[in-house]
Amino acid sequence: MHDGILTIDLDAIVANWRQLAARVAPSVCAAVVKANAYGLGMVPVSQALWRAGCANFFVATTDEGLLLREALPQARIVVLGGVRPGREQGFVEAGLWPSLFSLDAIERWLVATAASGTSAPCVINLNSGMTRLGMSPQELQRFIESADAERLDVKIFMSHLACADEPGHPLNQQQLTQYSQLVPAVKARWPEVVLSFANSSGIFLGQEFHFDLARPGAAMYGVNPTPALPNPMRPVVSLRLPVIQYRTITEPSWVGYSATVQVQAGQRLAVVLGGYADGLLRRLSNRGEGELAGHRVPIIGRVSMDATIFDVSAIPEAQLPPIGEAWVDMLSPVLDVNLVAEHMNTIGYEVLTNLGSRYHRNYVGGAS
């Protein structure tokens, strides 16, 4: 008898990954499982993908890398946030590959690995135009020509797209050109290097964006990688919250914090256990919707920390399931993560990463 129930369809994640892998073949398809697999559970998600044949994983932080290493002793694991000073030894021991994006970081990594008597396996991240993480082209060019370059064991040469979800954006082609210009020098210095450029949306920009290794994240989890077109991905998450009170209004009444909306006699409300502490951001106040007994029902009033109110007047009273059997679906095949993101005025990614810790997480599938 749980309260909110978040169901994660591992088979759908695997099917989405396979679809993406087929799109990029013969290139290889990795999986981005950072931020606890976008809130869905890094370990069960990664284990299901590993069983499906995925061998390359990307996380954001050292702690994520160390946790994933325990779950997948043989996987290739890249830590996109790099290796911070003082944590190099943990990378060496766990066989994590840091993404390196400055000469300082490269120097530290060379010193740490030399002290361990190991090679210096790593990923080089190029800033091709997003201006977030990444070495500048000039910096990388100078490094390639330096004596230190020979000692560095560059496994992957990557860059990241800023506007891949807008196929017509000129920055896509500019980033592709910038990245491609560095490829010959990189391959000349590290002939075995794997080239990695495309994120989820980048996969849909065409084959010239695929290179050797694609890095989808969001699309695996059901976020539409092509926002202007129908979503080619399967939905992955569903979320149900229990109704804990019905109320039939008997006189004009204000609803919720700050009394933002009034209801009239005869209207019926349902209160569910679950609010913005569970990731139903306050922006859903008087905007979002749920599904109850097959009807779409609007959120009425402010979302509060632990409770959300719905106007269920459109449902005939006889059709309202009794307390204990009544659930409002907040994420479902109909109310998918992309639609909820519109209601929240954000992107599907943020809907997922905000999913709260009070839900019972129910995993289905994933055995393949």
Q: Which amino acid is at 8?
A: I
CB distance 154 to 190 below 8 Å: yes
Q: Is there binding between residue 321 and its own copies (CB under 8 A)? A: no
Of 338 and 346, which has the nearer Cβ to its own copies? 346
Report which secondary-structure segment, H or E, holds 254. strand 253-255
158 has binding-site annotation: no
Among 26, 85, 230, 266, binds its own copies (CB under 8 A): 85
Comparing CB distances to its own copies, the nearer of 15 and 280 is: 280
From candidates 22, 70, 117, 131, binder to its own copies by CB under 8 A = 131
Give how many residues touch its own copies by CB under 8 A.
75
Nearer to its own copies, 15 or 271 (CB): 271
Give me the 343-362 binding string for its own copies, x by CB under 8 A, dash otherwise: ---xx-xx--xx--xx----
135 is in an annotated binding site: no
Nearer to its own copies, 262 or 368 (CB): 262
* Cα dihedral across residues 32, 119, 89, 103: positive or negative: negative
Residues belonging to the active site: 34, 257
* Residue showing tokens 């160390």: 66
The SS3 call for residue 68 is: helix
Report how far residue 65's alpha carbon sits from residue 46's, in angstroms, rounded to the nearest whole number: 12
Residue 110 φ/ψ, nearest 5 degrees: -65, -40
Q: How far apart are CA 344 and CA 350, in angstroms?
A: 9
Decide if residue 103 touches its own copies (CB under 8 A): no
Within residues 248-307, the interface with its own copies by CB under 8 A covers: 249-250, 253-259, 263, 269, 271, 273, 276-277, 281-283, 301, 304-307
Q: Is 5 in the site for its own copies (CB under 8 A)?
A: no
Q: Which of residues 18 and 35 has its CB atom nearest to its own copies in the complex?
A: 35
Q: What would the DSSP string read from start to end of 93-106?
A: HHTPEEEE-SHHHH
- DSSP letter for 61, please: S
Contact map string, positions 34 to 63, toward its own copies, x by CB under 8 A = xxx-xx--------------------xxxx
Report 160-179 residues binding its own copies (CB under 8 A): 162-163, 166, 169, 171
Cβ contact 183:157 at 8 Å: yes
Q: Is 93 in the site for its own copies (CB under 8 A)?
A: no
Residue 11 engages its own copies in binding (rule: CB under 8 A):
no
Q: In this structure, are residues 366 and 47 in contact, taking their beta carbons and an 8 Å threshold?
A: yes
Note whether 133 and 125 are within 8 A (CB): yes
Select 52 or 255, whichever has its Cβ closest to its own copies. 255
Residue ranges in the chain assigned as alpha helix (H): 10-24, 34-38, 42-51, 62-71, 88-94, 103-116, 137-144, 170-189, 200-203, 337-344, 348-353
Which positions from 176 through 205 interact with its own copies, judged by CB under 8 A? none
What are the CA-CA distances from residue 250 to residues 86, 212, 304, 319 (Å)?
65, 65, 23, 20
Using alpha carbons, select from 131, 137, 125, 67 the residue that is nearest to residue 96.
67
Looking at beta carbons only, is 74 or 138 nearer to its own copies?
138
To 10 degrees, what angle do helices 170-189 and 137-144 make? 10
Minimum CB–partner distance for residue 79 and its own copies (Å): 10
Phi, psi (rounded to 5 degrees) for 57: -125, 145
Annotated binding-site residue numbers for substrate: 132, 305
Annotated binding-site residue numbers: 132, 305
